[in-house]
Amino acid sequence: MTSVQGTAVDITTADGVADAYLAHPADGLPHPAVLLYQDAFGLRPHLKSMADRLAGAGYTVLVPNVFYRNGRTPVFDLPEFIDPSERPQIWEQVAPVMQSLTPDLAMRDAGTYLQWLADSPLTADGPVALAGYCMGARLALFTAGTYPDRVAAAAGFHGGRLATDAPDSPHLVAKDVTAELYFGHADQDGSMPPEQQQLLEETLTAAGVRHRCEVYPGAHHGYTQADTAAYDKEADERHWAALLDLLSRTFPAS
């Protein structure tokens, strides 16, 4: 595993300043870029550790606070171990903020994050990869369809509402996607039921998108997040294998 350097960075957007975490190999050389999209609980130590692990595998990883309009990190007052069943009031903090980040706002920001990565001396030339968790899986799919020339691969894990009948459902961008996609659905996830899984699969196939959608049996929404009650070690390890496989195929020289 490569030694890693992690730093806090600020990114000026059209609507303010997004604080972010940047992790990269400590050699100071340019490496393929990964834009990592947070789950609903936001940028916190566990997500930084995930970015560090990817950086140790040879990537330059940016994790923006996508909720920056609501304040700098930490946006929410969270316990070290997040169990919404014991503290349901967490959702009273999180839900309104999550809902305020519309696809239009998120994609305006995404263009800024992608440009920031393109301008960084720590990133290799060429398109980036995306990794998204929970709501971040939605953002990853939207970004792949909105900026197809900038995204070579995108992976989403325990994403919810990826293929609904809403006019702004993420699956509707499939026609514009040129990246290879991977989705790891949680088996026990009411926000991504079998009918949505099927619609996403059919839509990606019809659009000719290179993709693989897999169901992780027994896993719950949030299975990759070790600081939450939803964590599933076996599913998490499967997620790492799938993500690193996608990245190694996308950036074979890294």
**What are the residue numbers of the active site?**
134, 189, 221
- What is the spatial distance between Cα 73 and Cα 68, in angstroms, rounded to a whole number? 8
Distance CA 213, CA 206 (A): 14
Exposed, middle or buried, 249 (CB in 10 Å: 0-12/13-18/19+)?
exposed
Q: How far apart are CA 118 and CA 115, in angstroms?
A: 5
Give the span between the Cα atoms of 51 and 45, in whole angstroms: 10
- Cα 229 to the chain's mean position, in Å? 19
C-alpha 150/C-alpha 166 separation (Å) is 26
Distance from C-alpha of 217 to C-alpha of 31, rounded to nearest angstrom:
34
Please list the helix, strand and coil fractions of the chain in percent, rounded to the nearest 5, in that order.
35, 25, 35
Query: How far, in Å, CA of 177 to CA of 132, rounded?
Result: 16
Residue appearing with tokens 């996830």: 189
3-state DSSP call for residue 234?
Answer: helix
